[in-house]
Structure 1
Amino acid sequence: MKTELAKQIYEVAHLTGQFTLRSGQVSHEYFDKYLFESDPEVLRKIAEQLMSIIPEGTEILAGLEMGGIPIATALSLHSQIPAAFVRKKAKEYGTCKLAEGTDIKGKQVCIIEDVITTGGQVLLSAADLKQSGAIVRDAICVIERNLEGRRKLEESGIRVHALFTMEELIEASLP
């Protein structure tokens, strides 16, 4: 079932054509993570598989803006663990909150992200969440793109729990 899901994610999100990457380089392949996050059937299967890697003691699932939010929501529905939605920067009006939804202060918060590549945004958000009173020791991602991100996060005290590596997705897509 997990291998079939890996294949399905790759088939839904792997695009071919001509794409300009963030770096400015041009590529003939692109992996559009929002395509698997917006597919209700794939998202349901992802949440079902992620259930087994939620760290024990998790009290809040903190979905990072933008890609972690649909995953945290689906996982919250399956696990019945409340969710919070974490902005890259606290809004400057209304409640001025960094994390919307369930109160995170003093709670065991597990960061939810779609793809971890360098770990940079997870590190920034973890620091912000800790400053807001959360206890952050774990991050879950659907796809671990490379080991650099894991290494940086683990060096800072955050355990990474990945459903798939990019290599596993590619391997599952091969005939």
Structure 2
Amino acid sequence: MIIMTDGEARAALAREIDATCRLTGTFVLRSGRTADEYFDKYRFEADPRLLDRVAAQLTPLVPTDTEVAGRRVLVVEDVVTSGGQVIVSTGQLRELGARVEHALCVIDRAEGGAQTLADHGVALRALFTRADLEAHRTR
């Protein structure tokens, strides 16, 4: 059995997610932007072994004071680009009386979504940024 440190496990996960879900080409993102690469979330979300490792790395990022029962709600997103879907979800939850202060994602594409969310009172916590995945990219 191989035992990895948290840093080694995170680096290995970044490499595997990047190799599994980064596609190159021309893509129109949900935000309407065109990109030359796309992180296909279904490629890691559909792999139970990989998704389990993602969940294990995400768990420490969940704010300790975020409890659904206490009307504090944590919005979880797979990939954030503009933050548009998180804003929609946050608005709907707030209309129902929930307090939404944080959002959690697997990949922040670092294209302004975190700032947009901050402007709406939501702090984004990401497991990885695009730069993290690029730093661990296998070529």
Q: Answer whether TM exceeds 0.5 for this pair.
A: yes
Q: CA deviation at 1:155?
A: 1.6
| 1:27-49 per-position Cα deviation (integer Å, ceiling 9, x unaligned) | 4x432111011111110001001
Q: 1:11 aligns with which of 9, 19, 35?
A: 19
* 1:150 and 2:95 are equivalent in the alignment: no
* 1:34 and 2:42 are equivalent in the alignment: yes
Match of 2:91 in 1: 127
CA distance in 2, matches of 1:152, 1:21: 20
Higher relative contact order (CA 8 A, sep 6+): 2
Please tell me whether the aligned partners of residues 107 and 127 of structure 2 are also in contact (alpha carbons under 8 angstroms).
yes
Q: CA deviation at 1:156?
A: 1.5
Q: How many pairs align?
A: 129
Q: Which amino acid aligns with 2:53?
A: K
Q: CA deviation at 1:20?
A: 4.5
Q: 1:21 aligns with which of 16, 28, 39?
A: 28
Q: Which amino acid aligns with 2:100?
A: V
Identity of aligned residues (%): 39
Which one has a larger percent helix, Structure 1 or Structure 2? 2
Q: Which amino acid aligns with 1:157?
A: G
Match of 1:2 in 2: 10
Match of 1:163 in 2: 127
| 1:51-82 per-position Cα deviation (integer Å, ceiling 9, x unaligned) | 1110112213xxxxxxxxxxxxxxxxxxxxxx
CA distance in 1, matches of 2:64, 2:48: 27
Q: CA deviation at 1:117?
A: 0.7
Runs ≥4 in structure 1, deviation > 2 angstroms?
Answer: 18-27
Q: CA deviation at 1:19?
A: 4.6
Q: TM-score, normalization: structure 1?
A: 0.67
CA distance in 2, matches of 1:26, 1:42: 25
